[in-house]
Amino acid sequence: MARSSRRALVNAQADGWTCVIVTNGRTIQQETKIRNPGLDRLVQGWVVSEAVGHKKPEPEIFQAAAAAVGLPLPGAWVIGDSPHADIAGADALGLRSVWVTDGRPWTQGSYEPTHTAPDVASAINHAIGTRP
């Protein structure tokens, strides 16, 4: 994980945001990906699809993420790089979203992200800058 992304997560927490990772995959594999780079120390929780029995973009996995940290889902931001799994999931729940483009053009027609960003750090910084 890039140093700028780590700094953005630290800044988000300092600003009062609760950061939760929502990921599809096998629990052991995804938790290894979270723990090895130290993400477990930079977020307040995570939800893995295998553990909750639902995959992104299903609403239940996002609801499980909110429940994992004891917060309501309305008002949350979804930041992700998958138009289908992340942005469609956010759209279906009426949540704001930031799509991490990684240089790709947006090609979906039936839904759009609230914002786009070139990388994860920029996406996090955008979301934390929108607090009312």
Tell me the domains of the chain and their CATH numbers.
3-126 (3.40.50.1000)
129 pLDDT band (50/70/90 cuts)? Answer: confident
**pLDDT score of 3:** 87
2 pLDDT band (50/70/90 cuts)? Answer: confident
**What is the token pair recorded at 57?**
């973009």
The string of pLDDT tens digits covering residues 13-60 is 999 999 999 999 999 999 999 999 999 999 999 999 999 999 999 999
Buried b (16+ CB within 10 A) or exposed e, 85-124: bbbbbbbebebbbbbbbeeeeeeeeeeebbbbbebbbbbb
Do residues 41 and 52 lie in contact, with contact meaning Cβ atoms separated by under 8 Å?
A: no
Ramachandran assignment for 59, one of left (phi > 0), alpha (psi -120 to 50 degrees), beta (any other): alpha
Q: What is the pTM of this model?
A: 0.94
Per-residue pLDDT at 126 exceeds 70: yes
**What is the token pair recorded at 33?**
């990906």
Per-residue pLDDT at 74 exceeds 80: yes
Residue 54 CB: number of other CB atoms within 10 A? 17
| Mean pLDDT for all residues in the chain | 95
